[in-house]
Structure 1
Amino acid sequence: MIRVSSLTKQYGDFTAVKDVTFTCRPGRVTGFLGPNGAGKTTTMRVMVGLTPATAGEVTIGGHHYRDIPNPGRHVGVLLDASAQHAGRTGREILALGAKQMGLPAGRVDEMLDLVSLSDTESSRRLRNYSLGMRQRLGIAHALLGDPSVLILDEPANGLDPAGIRWMRGLLKDYADRGGTVLLSSHLLNEVELVADEMILIGRGQIVASGTKQELLAGRSGGGTHVTALDVASLSSALESAGYTVSAAGDGLRVEADPVQVGQVAADKQIVLTDLRPAEGGLENLFLELTADTQRESITSEGVAV
C-alpha cells in the first residue's frame, strides 16, 4: 500500500505540490492524472526518495522508501525510461540490476521475454533504443525484483497501440495477483481503460478522486448513447421511465447508465443495436477540473513538475 499524507513540496516561492493526500491499495491500479506540470512527477519523486518533501510524508508498506532494505525487491519504479547509462546494452542494465538485488542471472531472461525484447534488441546499447524499447526495458527493470508495488510515470510514452494494449494487460494481471500499481499519465483515455480508481491533480492539488462511476455520479455530461431498431419507441419508453433523452446522431443520448437503459429496452422488448457510455463524460470532467492548469510548469531549479 502507498499512503501519501499531507504532502507539500516547495521550490523557493513556487509550490509544486500542496497538501496532497491519497492512498493506493493492493489489488488495484490507481491512475494519477493531471496535465503536464500538475505535480505528478514531483509527488512520485518524493515517494522514492529522489526529492525531499517540504512537509508531509509518503510511506510504502508502512515504511519510508529510504528505510526499505533492498527496495527493488519491494518497489518497482519507472520514472524516466532514459535514466540509464546510454553506453550499456539492455541486457547489461538488467544484469546489473539483478546483481544489485541479489537475484539469479536467469531472472534477466525472464524479464526480457516478458517485455518482448529479443536477443538482438537486448544486445543493443541503450543509445540506439527507440523510446518504446526504452519503456519496455524500464518496465522490465521495475519488475525485475518481483516487487509488490509498482510506481510508473507515463509508461505508455513511445509505445505503439499494440504495446499500450500489452501494458494494460500486464498491469491488470499484476494487480489481480495482489500488487499495488500507481500509474501516472496526462492521457485520460489511456488510464481510464486500466485504472480501478483515479486521482485527478491540478496545480499541485488533488481536485477529485474515486472510481469512474463515483467521479461521474450526479454530473451532467455522462450518460449513455443508444440506438435501436425502433428509436421512437425507445425514446418514449425511456421518457416514461423518467429519464432525460435527447437526439444524438442516429440514436439517443440518455441521462442514465447503460444498465438502466438496457433494462427499459428489455422490459419493452425493444431490440438495441448499440449501447455504450456516452463519450466525453469523464474527459469533460477532467478538463473542467483542470481547466486552468493545461500547461507545463518549470521551477526555478529547472525541474519539470
Structure 2
Amino acid sequence: MIKVENLTKKYGDFTAVNDISFVSQPGRVTGFLGPNGAGKSTSMRMMVGLTKADAGSVTIGGHDYMDIPNPGRHVGVLLDASAQHAGRTGREVLALSAATMGLPASRVDEMLHLVSLTDSEAKRRVKNYSLGMRQRLGIANALMGDPSVLILDEPANGLDPAGIRWMRGLLKGYADRGGTVLLSSHLLHEVQMIADELVMIGRGEIVAQGTPEELLRDSGTFFRALEADQLVKALADNGIQAAPVADGFRTDAEPVQVGKVAAEHQITLVELKLADGGLEDLFLELTAETQRETYTEGGQK
C-alpha cells in the first residue's frame, strides 16, 4: 500500500505539489493523471526519497521508503527510462541490479525474457536502445526484486501499440496477484482500460479521485445550442451552472432540466445528452485551467 498524506513541495514562490492525499491499494492499479507540469513526477520523486518534501509524508507498506532495507526487493521504481547508464549493455544494467539486491544471476535472464528483450538486444549498449527498449529495460529493472509495490512514471512512453497492450496485461496481472501499482500517464484511454482507481492532479492539487465508474457516473449533462450564451444565462437564472467543455457546455443538471429551460426560452438545442464522452472529456474539463491549449471535438484549437 502507498499512503500519501498532505504532501507538499515548493520551489521558492512556486508550489509544485500542494497538500495532496490519496491511497494506492494492494491488488489494484491506481492511475495518476495530470497535464505536463501538474506535479506527478515531483510527487513520485518524493515517494522514493529523490526529492525532499516540504510538508506531509508518504509511507509504503507502512514505512518511509528511505527506511526500507534493500528497497528494490519491496518497491519497484521506474521514473525515467532515459536515465539508465548509456555505456552499459542491457544485460549489465540488470546484472548490476541483481547483484545489488543479492539475487542470483539467473534472475537477469528471467527479466529479459519477461520484457521480450532478445539476447542480441541485451548485449547492445543502452545508448543504442530506442525509447521503447529503454522502457522495457526499466520495467525489467523495476520488477527484478519481485517487489510488492510498483511506482511507474509514464512507462508507456515510446512503446508501440503491441507494447502498450503487453504492458497493460503485465501490470494488470501483477495487481491481480496482490501487487500495488501506481502508474502515471497522459495516455488517458490506456489508463481507463487498466486503472481500478484514478487520481487526477492539476497545478499540484488533486482535482478528482475515485474509480473510473464513479467519476464518469457524476459527469452530468453535455449540451450545445445555437443561442448558447442565452441558454447558459437562462440556466443560471434557474440555479443551474454550466461550464464550457469541448465545443459545448457541461452541467450537473439532468438532461430533462436543460431541455425544459431551453424550451421555455425557445432556444434551439443542437445536442443534449449525458456527458458520457469518457475519461478524456472529464479530464480536460477538470484540468482546463492547467492546459496550454483549448481543444474542440473537431480537434481545432
Question: Where on the TM-score scale, by shorter chain, does this alignment land: which range?
Answer: 0.7 to 0.9
Distance 2:181 2:282 in 1: 23
Root-mean-square deviation (Å): 2.0
**Counterpart in the other structure of 1:139:** 139
Q: Aligned AA for 2:80?
A: D
Determine the structure 1 residue equivalent to 2:282: 285
- Give me the whole-angstrom Cα distance separating, in 1, the residues matched to 2:100 and 2:32: 30
**1:291-302 → structure 2 map (5 Å cutoff):** 291-295=288-292
Change (3 A) 1:166 1:291: same
Q: Which runs of 5+ in 2 are unaligned?
A: 223-253, 260-270, 294-301
The 8 Å contact of residues 221 and 281 in structure 1, kept in 2 or not, is answered as no
Tell me if structure 2 keeps the 8 A contact 1:16–1:204. yes
Quick one: distance in 2 between partners of 1:221 and 1:119? 54
**Which protein, 1 or 2, shows the higher relative CO under an 8 Å CA cutoff with sep ≥ 6?**
1
Shift of 1:217: 2.1
Establish whether residue 210 from structure 1 lines up as the match of residue 210 from structure 2.
yes
Question: What residue is the counterpart of 1:67 in the other structure?
Answer: 67
TM-score (norm 2): 0.79
Match of 1:54, as an amino acid?
D
* Inter-partner Cα distance in structure 2 for 1:289 and 1:89: 43
Secondary structure of 1:184's counterpart equals strand
* 2:221–2:273 Cα contact (<8 Å) kept: no
- 1:203 shift after superposition: 0.1
Aligned position for 2:93? 93
Q: Secondary structure at the match of 2:20?
A: strand
Are 1:185 and 2:182 matched, yes or no? no
Contact 2:189–2:279 (8 Å) recurs in 1 = no
User: Whole-Å Cα distance in 1 between the matches of residues 27 and 273 of structure 2?
Assistant: 33
Q: How does 1:122-271 map to 2 (within 5 A)?
A: 122-220=122-220, 255=274
User: Per the alignment, in what secondary structure is the counterpart of residue 200 of structure 1?
Assistant: strand
- 1:39 is matched with which residue? 39
After superposition, the C-alpha distances for 1:207-264 in whole angstroms (9 at most, x for unaligned) are: 0000011112232258xxxxxxxxxxxxxxxxxxx997x9xxxxx99649xxxxxxxx
Q: Distance in 2 between matches of 1:106 and 1:78?
A: 22
SS state at 1:6 partner: strand
Q: Would the alpha carbon gap of residues 295 and 96 (structure 1) be closer, same or farther in structure 2, given more than 3 Å must change?
A: farther
CA contact (8 A) 1:221 1:284 kept: no
Structure 1 residues 96 and 281: alpha-carbon distance in aligned structure 2, compared to 1, 3 A threshold: same
Does the aligned pair in 1 maintain the 2:255–2:272 contact within 8 Å?
no
Whether 2:26 is the aligned partner of 1:26: answer yes
CA distance in 1, matches of 2:73, 2:60: 13
- Cα separation, 2, equivalents of 1:29 and 1:103: 27
1:50-95 Cα deviation digits (max 9, x unpaired): 0000000100000000000000000000000011211000000000
* 2:102 matched residue in structure 1: 102
Following the alignment from structure 1 to structure 2, what is the Cα–Cα distance between the partners of residues 77 and 84?
12
Q: Is 1:7–2:7 an aligned residue pair?
A: yes
SS at structure 1 position matched to 2:80:
coil
Secondary structure of 1:172's aligned partner: helix
Q: Secondary structure at the match of 1:36?
A: coil
2:10 is paired with a residue whose SS is strand
Deviations 1:7-29 (A, max 9, x none): 00001111000000000000000
Give distance in 1, aligned partners of 2:12 and 2:42: 15
Question: What SS is found at the alignment partner of 1:82?
Answer: helix
Paired letter, 1:29:
V
Identity %: 76
